[in-house]
Every structure is written in C-alpha cells, then in structure tokens.
Amino acid sequence: MAVILPSVAFWTSVTFARVGDDDKPEVLKFRARFKRLKKSERIALDHRIAVSGLLPDTRKMLQEKIDNPETEAGTRDFLRARLAAQPTNDAEVLNEVLADWDLKDHEGGFVAYTPATRAELEEDLDGLEGCLVKAYLEATGKPVSVEDVEKNSEAQSVTTS
C-alpha cells in the first residue's frame, strides 16, 4: 500500500544579507515555497548542480573511478549519471523549484511572486538567486524526524501571534 502525502510544496525561511551602511548588514528575512520533487527529479537536479562546478581534473578522476574494475557497479552507475548530467545555474534551479514567496516590501506591503517580480528583485538584490537556492538545498538536505513533524504540526495558540 502506498502512502500519499498531499503537500506538493513546502515553505522554508530565507535570510538574505548584504553589506549595509556603517558596517551594519542589511538583512531581509522571508519565506519561500518550493516544489517537492519526485525522487528521480531530485536526483537528476542534484547531478546537474554537482556537475556544474566540476573542474576538468575532478572529471578525469571520476572517469578513472568509473573505468576501474574494482569500483562497485552501483557507484559506477551513479558516477556515469553525474558526468552525463547537463550543468545548471541558479536561475534554472529556481525555475524548476521555486513556487511562491511570502515577501513584504519596506513599507510592509505584500510583494506578489511572479517571474517578472523575481527577475526585478534578482537584479536589484545581487545574490538573491544564490540565497534562494541555498535555502532550498538546506531545507531538502535536513533530516526530518517524527518529533519535528509533530512539533511543527501543533495548532497555533489563539492568544499569541
């Protein structure tokens, strides 16, 4: 019997910081909603991200490991898939996984998520793309325990905000 979880996306916190005036950083904290990928999609994305930063020497080393008859078949298959993956960049990763955000402007107004708004903010806030990708990778790389799920599933108090 298969268990199907209804959530196709998840929210996680994002902290974007940059140099501000008088040695004080400017910090923007908000939430982003990312799509949940299927296992095969996540593995393919992991390969594309990993291969994007491979230096020629590292590629050569991985190929040598593939060619080594003592390397286990499963490891060889994994390394072949990694080397065959097409490199990606932050924008492409976000196109695939970013679904929404809970972001407010400096006056407290809601900033709706659209591709155009994202492009505008990425231009204005250099480094925002990388920050969003980092938040996604950190969130998907966290181990989840039953205790975490139970703690985070408790109803909000009606007397506190």
pLDDT in tens, 98-129: 999 999 988 999 999 999 999 999 999 999 99
Give a yes or no: residue 151 inside a domain: no
**What pLDDT, on the 0 to 100 scale, is given for residue 5?**
62
Q: Total structural domains in the chain?
A: 1
CA distance 12 to 99: 12
CA distance 85 to 53: 12
* Nearest partner of 45 among 136, 122, 142, 144, judged by Cα: 136
Give a yes or no: residue 117 inside a domain: yes
**What pLDDT, on the 0 to 100 scale, is given for residue 158?**
44
Give a yes or no: residue 33 inside a domain: yes
Is residue 12 within a helix (H) or strand (E), and if so which, with residue range?
Answer: strand 9-18
Give a yes or no: residue 40 inside a domain: yes
**What pLDDT, on the 0 to 100 scale, is given for residue 161?**
42
By residue range, what is the domain housing residue 20? Answer: 9-142
Give a yes or no: residue 157 inside a domain: no
Give a yes or no: residue 161 inside a domain: no
Angle at 84 between CA 80 and CA 86, to 5 degrees: 150
Give a yes or no: residue 88 inside a domain: yes
Per-residue tokens: 108: 């407290």
What pTM did the predictor assign? Answer: 0.79
CA distance 94 to 97: 5
Residues 13 and 142: beta-carbon distance below 8 Å? no
CA distance 27 to 39: 34
Q: One-letter amino acid identity for 118?
A: R
Give a yes or no: residue 4 inside a domain: no
Residue 69 backbone dihedrals phi, psi, to 5 degrees: -65, -15
CA distance 46 to 93: 10
* pLDDT tens per residue, range 53-71: 889 999 999 999 999 999 9
